[in-house]
Amino acid sequence: MQKKYKIGYTTGVYDMFHIGHLNLLQRAKEMCDYLIVGVSTDECVETYKHKTPVIPYEQRAAIVAAIRYVDEVVPQTTMDKMEFLKHRHFDVMFHGDEWKGTPLYNKYEEEFAKVGVHIEYLPHTKGINSTLLRTKIE
């Protein structure tokens, strides 16, 4: 079966890896031949979430790299997706559908369209996220 896209890209923190992360990676891989996953570095997470991940970057990256749907893991050092596109080509970026229609992702859709890159929004797994897990642990 022919995949819809050749090279896909998605990013995340992947702190306390859970079924929602796995579902997103599986759905993304079903739509592309090669999936690149940007794992946010600890420093990157601190710049926008203002907290340190529970699991250090090296361990999160190793966990994501071990997932069979992932072809390559790269460090995400900035939240600017266009910056990554300047260094590595991809045909599609996958993201959770909770961001669809937001000003930031409307802007990405416009910028990506100019260079032939699509955004595919994938359904969020209800009832699970790393913040919820963190709260339960605390």
Active site residue 136: no
Average pLDDT per consecutive 10 residues, the chain (138 residues; last block may be shorter): 88 92 96 97 92 94 98 95 93 93 94 96 77 66
Q: How many whole angstroms separate alpha carbon 50 and alpha carbon 42?
A: 10
Residue of 3, 6, 49, 100 marked active site: 49
The residues spanned by each domain of the chain are 5-137
Marked catalytic residue, from 3, 4, 6, 51: 51
114 is known as an active-site residue: no
The CATH number for 5-137, chosen from 2.40.50.140, 3.40.50.620, 2.70.150.10, 2.60.40.10, is 3.40.50.620
| pTM for the model | 0.90
pLDDT at 120: 96
pLDDT of amino acid 49: 85
Give me the pLDDT at residue 98, please. Answer: 87
